[in-house]
Copies of this chain bind each other. A is one copy, B any other.
Amino acid sequence: MSDLVIRPATPDDIPAIVAMLADDPLGARRESPDDLTPYHRALDRLVEDPNQHLVVAVRDGDRPVGTLQLTVIPGLSRRGATRSVIEAVRVHADERGSGLGTQLIEWAIEQSRCQGCQLIQLTSDATRTDAHRFYERLGFTGSHIGFKLRL
């Protein structure tokens, strides 16, 4: 289990990433593993944008076992602070409890520091109580309410 590599996602990773997004109580209703076209289109946009970092964690050569997306957001508030936002964290079912989630978030924290971010943030559905304990153990504070509106 020591050969983990975290690297930028490529089009070849899309089936594995979408399978991980869909293998989730909330994600199951929202994804379409049988039609990958919209995911390829989205990856094209992500790859063009230097502030987007969609990564996969791979083991055993090149088998994807985890993913997350990190977005770097410059801004004026907090004395012109740059922040980063973590979205779409997923760990393959076979790897849960292995510490891979921690490695992914630690990668995101380190990458955010390298990008000059002063703050890292994410939202987690209020029903994911295990995830909340996980982020608190990693030093995050659940100080905010996350509001969403579907368009």
Query: A residues near B, CB below 8 A?
Result: 14, 17-18, 21, 27, 30-32, 38-43, 45-46, 49, 51-52, 54, 69, 71, 73-82, 85, 87-88, 109, 112-113, 117-126, 132, 135-136, 138-151
Known: A45-B74, A54-B76, A80-B39. A149 touches B141 (CB 8 A): yes
Contact call B126/A144, Cβ cutoff below 8 A: yes
Contact call B146/A145, Cβ cutoff below 8 A: yes
The residues of B that contact A122 with a CB separation of less than 8 Å are: 146-147
Contact call A142/B146, Cβ cutoff below 8 A: yes
Specify the chain B residue showing the minimal Cβ separation from A32.
B79
Task: Give min CB distance, A123 to chain B, whole Å.
Answer: 4
Known: A118-B150, A140-B147, A148-B144. A77 touches B124 (CB 8 A): no
